[in-house]
Chains A and B, each alone.
Chain A
Amino acid sequence: MSEFTESAYKFLVIAQKDFESAVKTKRFIIFGVIFVLLALVGAYYGNADVARSIAPISGAPNPATQPVNYAISVSYSYSEIVLTILALALSYDALSGERSARTLVQLVVRPITRRTILFGKFVAYLAAAGGLFVITTLVLYIGLSITTRTVPSSSDVGYLILSMGIILLYVMSFIAIGLLISSLTRTSLDSLLGAVFVWILLLILTYAGVALGLGAINLSPTSDIPYAQFPGYAKILVWINPGSHNVAIQSLAGDFFKLTSGLNYSVNVIFLIASILVPLIPAYYFFNRSDAV
Chain B
Amino acid sequence: MNAIEVQGLTKRYKKSVVAVEDASFTVPQGTAFGLLGPIGAGKSSIINMLLNFIRPSAGTIKTLDREIPAQFHEVRHRIGYLPERPGFYGNFSAERNLRFFANLSDVREEREEKIKKLFKLAGLEGKETTLVRAYSLGDRKRLGIAAAMLNEPELLILDEPSTGLDPQGRRDIMALIHELNVHDVTLFLATHNVRDIAEICDVVATMRAGHVAAPTTTKDFVADVRGKTVQLEADIANINERILQAIRSVKGVKSIQCEGLKISLEYRPGINEDVNYVITRAGGRLRSLHESPSLEEAYVRKMGGRTR
Contact = CB atoms under 8 A, between A and B. Distances in A.
Contact of B92 (A20, A111, A293): A20
Interface string A26-66: 00000000000000000000000000000000000000000
Contacts of A111: 73, 76-77, 104-106
A293 B81 CA distance: 13
A21 to B, nearest CB: 6
Contacts of A108: 52-53
B91 A10 contact: no
Interface residues of A, number: 22
Interface in B28-56: 48, 51-55
Contacts of B90: 101
A110 B105 contact: yes
Most buried by B among A24, A101, A111: A111
B76 A109 contact: yes
Nearest to A289: B55
Contacts of A228: none
Interface string A273-293: 000000000000000000111
A13 interface: yes
A103 interface: yes
Contact of A102 (B54, B87, B105): B87
**Binding site of B, secondary structure by majority: helix, strand, loop or mixed?**
loop
B17 to A, nearest CB: 14
Interface string A1-28: 0000000011001000100110010000
A106 B83 contact: yes
A21 B89 contact: yes
A107 interface: yes
A105 interface: yes
A102 B104 contact: no
29 contacts: A9-B103, A10-B104, A13-B103, A17-B92, A17-B100, A24-B91, A101-B89, A103-B89, A104-B87, A105-B51, A105-B81, A105-B87, A106-B81, A106-B87, A107-B104, A108-B52, A108-B53, A109-B79, A110-B76, A111-B105, A111-B106, A112-B104, A291-B55, A292-B51, A292-B52, A292-B53, A293-B48, A293-B53, A293-B54
A80 to B, nearest CB: 28
A110 B101 CA distance: 8
B63 to A, nearest CB: 12
Given A102-B83, A291-B54, A21 B77 contact: no
Interface of B: 48, 51-55, 73, 76-77, 79-81, 83, 85-92, 100-101, 103-106, 147, 151
A108 B105 CA distance: 10
Sorted nearest first, the 10 A-B pairs with minimum C-beta distance are A102-B87, A292-B53, A103-B87, A110-B104, A13-B103, A291-B54, A109-B81, A293-B53, A101-B87, A111-B77
Given A13-B100, A17-B100, A109-B79, 7 more contacts: A9-B103, A10-B103, A17-B89, A104-B87, A106-B88, A108-B52, A108-B53
Contacts of B54: 291-293
Interface in A90-115: 101-112
A121 B10 CA distance: 34
**Binding site of A, secondary structure by majority: helix, strand, loop or mixed?**
helix
B154 to A, nearest CB: 14
Contacts, number: 70
A13 B106 CA distance: 11
B294 to A, nearest CB: 32
A80 B222 CA distance: 68
Interface of A: 9-10, 13, 17, 20-21, 24, 101-112, 291-293
A107 B76 CA distance: 11
A21 B89 CA distance: 8
B85 A102 contact: yes
B277 to A, nearest CB: 43
Contacts of B55: 291
Contacts of A20: 92
Contacts of B83: 102, 105-106
B75 to A, nearest CB: 10
Contacts of A21: 89, 91-92
Contacts of A293: 48, 53-54
Contacts of B80: 109
B266 to A, nearest CB: 45
Most buried by B among A9, A20, A106, A112: A106
Contacts of B76: 109-111
